[in-house]
Amino acid sequence: MNPVILAIWFSFVSTHATIPHRAIDRCAQDGAYFYAMDDDPAKPIRVERDGVAIRIERHDPKSTEAVLSFQRDGKTLVQNIKDFEAAQGWLTVSRTGAFATTWKENASSAETQLFRVASAGSIIEDRTLVQLAENKFVADAKLVCKTPGINTTAIKWLDDDHLLLAINAWSSGVCSSDFTEGFIISLSKHEVEKKLTESELLNLPAVCTWNLVPVRKQ
């Protein structure tokens, strides 16, 4: 190749090439992704996956209050939420009946709830197990960012007992960090069984990822 043409080509590549950022995603076979809002705010939303049904009702279209109903095997848990502004939802269910929901207001805000089935068959929310993972994450994230925002996503059930979480710290206040860790939590032991770096999380078998290619301004 002509040296001049080769030099021009290398200059073009170095100027225009971008490095894709690999990110964790959720596989369709692992759960149900759904919209948590409707064009008509008063219209109930219902989604079902693997025997678990979720119903979202807003009785006042002008209010952020909502009634969430979680149902499995004829048992129902009803929650009255004062500030429910989620636009999207994700539901992933284990074969034992436990399930997790992730609510997202926007691309950088995620909150996860974990539910289990009691011995009597009733549905109960576990408010502490996900919090254990978030506490460990905050301790690590503060080494990079003093005020990390916590965005927790339930990725999938690895088996009947273990749920995989991805926790990300986007910008919060004057902090401009983007820090991610993964956590495997055990329902039977009620503990965080393993912490994963972002690289370990992305390279787990049977975990979906996608490439986000940044657009370089000309």
pLDDT in tens, 181-190: 999 999 999 9
Tokens of 170: 């986007």
Q: What is the pLDDT of residues 66-84, one digit of tens each?
A: 999 999 999 999 999 988 8
Q: Report how far residue 182's alpha carbon sits from residue 137's, in angstroms, rounded to the nearest whole number.
A: 9
Confidence band (pLDDT; 50, 70, 90) for 3?
A: low
Distance of CA 184 to CAs 46, 100, 131, 174, Å? Answer: 29, 13, 13, 30
45-49 vs 21-24, strand pairing mode: unpaired
In whole angstroms, how far apart are CA 17 and each of 12, 13, 214? Answer: 8, 5, 10
Two tokens at 191? 């503990």
The SS3 assignment for 14 reads helix
DSSP class of residue 28? G
Tokens of 210: 């996608």
3-state secondary structure of 190: coil
Q: What is the pTM of this model?
A: 0.83
- 89 forms beta bridges with 34, 103
- 209/96: higher pLDDT: 96
Query: Using one digit for the tens of pLDDT, what is the confidence trace for 107-159?
Result: 667 899 999 999 888 999 999 999 999 999 999 998 888 878 889 999 999 99
Q: What 3-state DSSP class applies to 154?
A: strand
Can you tell me the distance from the alpha carbon of 115 to that of 152, in angstroms, rounded to the nearest whole number? Answer: 15
**Paired tokens of 163:** 């749920």
Distance CA 79, CA 131 (A): 19
Distance CA 169, CA 14 (A): 30
Name the H helices within the chain. Answer: 3-16, 129-141, 198-202
Residue 56: both structure tokens together? 């979202």
Distance CA 124, CA 23 (A): 32
